[in-house]
Amino acid sequence: MSICDPSFIYVPETASTNTCLKALNRQQILKEGTVVYTSNQVSGRGQVGTSWESEPGKNLTFSIILFPQKIPVNRQFILSQLVSLAVRDVLSEAVDFISVKWPNDIYYKNQKIAGILIENDIEGDSISVSIMGIGLNVNQRVFLSDAPNPVSLCQITNKEYDLQLLMQRIVDRLLFLYEEVNENRQDDIISRYKESLYRKDGYHLFSDKNGIFMATIEDIEPAGAIVLRTKEGERRKYLFKEVTLKIP
């Protein structure tokens, strides 16, 4: 069934839109595609304990709930791919040089403009609930945290944007791509995700538990692992947080 009319729930302030949406889903039966958004996310979370800075009222901080029972657990990375592409596609209408830094950070050139946090509930071999949180820097002009490389859409273009309209466009694009996956038409999503990768061409500096090395991105496996090939021809495979691409 197509999700053509997502529901939007506004909360003036919350610790985390992901956490808020989880709590709502425990309290009531939510419609697939329900979105929780806020003007002030005070404890935004990133991957594996990192945080997300967002000036109140200036950026997009929202989460969407899906019930992707058709997607097997071993292919759940397609959710990361489709939400990354949804954000990238919409931003690319405004600016060039938007890419996806594996697994799902969104970059403008060498600076991070958006972060995504996906939390899946697994039941058996399927995903019962997926909550996707998106933090997008839009109208913030100054960043105060020690994050190494943030940038906003406003800083890039020197224009301010309608947050509601931008969120609606991202949600619409996300649900369109989700429908493609549900109809088993995910090949284009997988291909475009790989083509959109940050630093997908050439050799670049990476670091793992053994130190720094030069490698090129060879592939992204269906389960989400990144496959690198070193200059010496060694093929290395990593899961999330096992390897870091060094940013200039």
Residue pLDDT, tens place only, 155-169: 999 999 999 999 999
Q: Given this model, what pLDDT does residue 53 score? A: 67
Residue 89: strand, helix, or coil: helix
Taking Cα atoms as reference points, which of 141, 140, 155 lies closest to residue 56?
140
Q: Given this model, what pLDDT does residue 4 score? A: 63
Cα separation, 246 vs 227, whole angstroms: 16
Q: How would CATH label the architecture of 8-195?
A: 2-Layer Sandwich (3.30)
Cα separation, 215 vs 183, whole angstroms: 36
The Cβ of residue 93 has, within 10 Å, a number of other Cβ atoms equal to: 9
What value does the mean pLDDT of the chain take? 93
Mean pLDDT for the stretch of residues 226-234: 97
Question: Would you place residue 239 in the very low, low, confident or very high pLDDT band (cuts 50, 70, 90)?
Answer: very high
Domain with CATH 2.30.30 in the chain: 204-245
Question: Would you place residue 147 in the very low, low, confident or very high pLDDT band (cuts 50, 70, 90)?
Answer: confident
Mean pLDDT for the stretch of residues 54-83: 94
Q: Given this model, what pLDDT does residue 55 score? A: 84
Percent of the chain with pLDDT over 90: 86
* Residue/partner pairs of 20-23 with CB below 8 Å, 24 or more apart: 20/63, 21/63, 21/64, 21/65, 21/131, 22/119, 22/131
- Tokens linked to 180: 């493609």
Residue 79 reports pLDDT greater than 60 = yes
The reported pTM is 0.93
- Tokens linked to 155: 């800083």
User: Regarding the domain delimited by 204-245, which CATH topology (the fold level of the hierarchy) does it fall under?
Assistant: SH3 type barrels. (2.30.30)
Cite the beta strand spans of 196-243 per DSSP E.
204-208, 211-220, 226-230, 235-238
Mean pLDDT for the stretch of residues 221-226: 96
Question: Would you place residue 94 in the very low, low, confident or very high pLDDT band (cuts 50, 70, 90)?
Answer: very high
Domain with CATH 3.30.930.10 in the chain: 8-195
14: left (phi over 0), alpha (psi -120 to 50) or beta: beta
Q: pLDDT tens across 18-54, in order?
A: 999 999 999 998 999 999 999 998 875 554 445 556 7
Beta bridge partners, 192, equal none
Question: Would you place residue 5 in the very low, low, confident or very high pLDDT band (cuts 50, 70, 90)?
Answer: confident
Percent of the chain with pLDDT over 70: 94
Name the maximum alpha-carbon separation found in the chain: 55
Residue 170 reports pLDDT greater than 70 = yes
Contact 87, 115 (CB under 8 A): no
The Cβ of residue 56 has, within 10 Å, a number of other Cβ atoms equal to: 14
Q: Given this model, what pLDDT does residue 144 score? A: 82
Q: Given this model, what pLDDT does residue 130 score? A: 98
Residue 132 reports pLDDT greater than 50 = yes
Mean pLDDT for the stretch of residues 178-197: 96
